[in-house]
Amino acid sequence: MVAPSLVAFLPPFLLILVAAISPEPTVAADSKPKPFPPPTPLRMRALLRHERGSSSRGGNLVVTAAADGASNGTAANPFTAHHFPQELDHFTFWRRPSGGKGATAAAGPMFVYTGNVGDIELDGHIRVAINDNWHRFYGNDSEYSTKTLGYLTSTKALADYVILITSLKRNLSAEDTPVVVFGGSYGGMLASWFRLKYLHIAIGALASSAPILQFDYITPWSSFYDAVSQDYKSESLNCFAVIKATWDVLDERGSSDKGLLELSKLFRACKTVKYADSIGGWLETAFTYTAMVDYPAPANFTENLPAYPVKEACTEMIMPMSTSNESMFPPSTFSYDDMSDACFQLNGVRPRPHWITTEYGGYRIDKVLKRFGSNIVFSNGMRDPWSRGGVLKNISSSIVALVTEKGAHHLDLRSATKNDPDWLVEQRRQEVEIIQGWIDQYHQDMA
């Protein structure tokens, strides 16, 4: 883990942190912090100090690979791009499905990746056709503006997937092909909700690092940042103490123009920072990401995944979070009213803070899903702070929780390596075995 090496006096510690995060680190003076993890008051203050940017344009590409491996792409990139139109309400956007080499829709099940912005990796244990979808408004080419922000919802995204899946199966003459949905982080949440809402479309779901209980009052609000702090404390008490002392020093240095200039030089900022909150929010994000991706082997997980996109956080994805006195972050509280005001100031909309639990449930989930749910695997690693909002116990014989003590953020969905520990290999084996069981049962029922 990167964090334990960050010791010694505070100014050198800050410089070492920057060097550890990036080979050539730069901090834009007014750049917005990464949208994931969720904004605490420290990060929200930094966000609110920035001018609202112009709306971005983009789209979600449709990338497919031919079933036999043939394509119009190159050997290095064997994919071809297409588009799949949708209604706005339900809206027009771009999709990105991709097919695995050697797979055919009729020969095996269809695996549908429910939504992040990254590519997927499979270990080849099950012969499948792959459909890798980008969530509406995500991606470099997404159509987004404040006028369409109200259409950025999980329910509409799930409906998009239904239309795409049914159309794809019809076009491939594969109506009887079983569908398994899977995803990690926010994509894992979508996978579990898809299975709950569309049982006639998907026979099962693998939801990795899916914090579906991080809403309302289901999970203690301080649990996320307490978990981040515990990751560092478990590695080095000194590291924990140094980080905890960082915030007061930042506030003190940032209270004067001279101090801001010193901080700007220390962090090699593009220009002199105007507020210490800008650096504080960036540091908080760096500490949190490091805890999330505390993988047992080297990885290139450097892109931001939209598990908690700021735009969607202003429509329905309101995850109340605070920081306790026991945390290494500055103590803070959460206010639904303050969040609503911030969203209105930043994006011109006010969120529906309790819509997720109204639409998908969450309270007494063990009692509720036991009565009507089935075929969902919730996987979580306890090194991942998002695990605190996940399902950590079996609900029934077919709604299973696979929990690993040393696992990190959707580690099980990353490609296998020769350095994978035995517990990770076993976790993936169990997932494959469970999914194969769903497929076998489906074919028995259809016979």
> Which of 24-28, 261-265, 318-322, 346-350 shows the lowest per-residue confidence on average (mean pLDDT)?
24-28
Q: Do domains 3-53+221-347 and 62-217+359-446 have the same CATH topology?
A: no
- pLDDT bracket for residue 113 (50, 70, 90): confident
Residues 393, 403: Cα–Cα separation, whole Å: 8
Q: What is the pTM of this model?
A: 0.75
Residues 318, 362: Cα–Cα separation, whole Å: 14
Query: How is domain 3-53+221-347 classified at the CATH fold level?
Result: Four Helix Bundle (Hemerythrin (Met), subunit A) (1.20.120)
Per-residue confidence (pLDDT) for residue 81, from 0 to 100 = 53
Residue closest to 29 by CA, chosen among 49, 15, 9, 14: 49
Query: How is domain 62-217+359-446 classified at the CATH fold level?
Result: Rossmann fold (3.40.50)
Residues 1-20 pLDDT 10s: 433 333 332 333 333 333 33
Per-residue confidence (pLDDT) for residue 297, from 0 to 100 = 79
Residues 217, 253: Cα–Cα separation, whole Å: 37
Residues 99, 79: Cα–Cα separation, whole Å: 9
Token match 């206010």: residue?
335
- pLDDT bracket for residue 245 (50, 70, 90): very high
| Domain edges within the chain | 3-53+221-347, 62-217+359-446
Average pLDDT over residues 58-81: 39
Does the bond joining 37 to the residue before it have cis omega, within 30 degrees of 0? Answer: yes
Per-residue confidence (pLDDT) for residue 85, from 0 to 100 = 58
Per-residue confidence (pLDDT) for residue 10, from 0 to 100 = 32
Residue closest to 435 by CA, chosen among 208, 115, 107, 125: 125
Burial class (CB in 10 A: 0-12, 13-18, 19+), 175: exposed
Q: How far is CA 355 from CA 16, 133, 157, in A?
A: 42, 24, 15
